[in-house]
Amino acid sequence: MLSHRVRDNQVLYVVRRDWPYPATHEFVRPRLTEAEAVRAAAADFRYWRPGPLRPRLSVVQISANDLRIHGRRRDCMAPDCPR
């Protein structure tokens, strides 16, 4: 978990949750390294695993600024978001 401020152009690794219905996505669990983000994705998988609705998870790169902007969007369906 990020506990300090990062520059807007800092590249972060985040877990992308893609929901089947409606076809939306969100970015969660920002980390500074890909390895930390992979561990965060594994923890996220374990959290959602017992539920009836499970998101598809992936680790993507995104700038801190884009993550901040995206955080204000709800139910994002934009095709240009990092995959």
> Got the DSSP string for the chain?
---S---TT-EEEEEEEE-SSS--EEEEEEESSHHHHHHHHHHHHHHHTTSSS--EEEEEEEEHHHHHHHTT-SSB--TTS--
pLDDT tens-digit readout, 35-62: 999 999 999 999 999 999 999 999 999 9
Indicate whether this model's pTM tops 0.85: yes
Work out the pLDDT band at 33, boundaries 50, 70, 90: very high
Q: How is residue 1 written in tokens?
A: 């978990």
pLDDT tens-digit readout, 2-25: 656 888 889 999 999 999 888 899
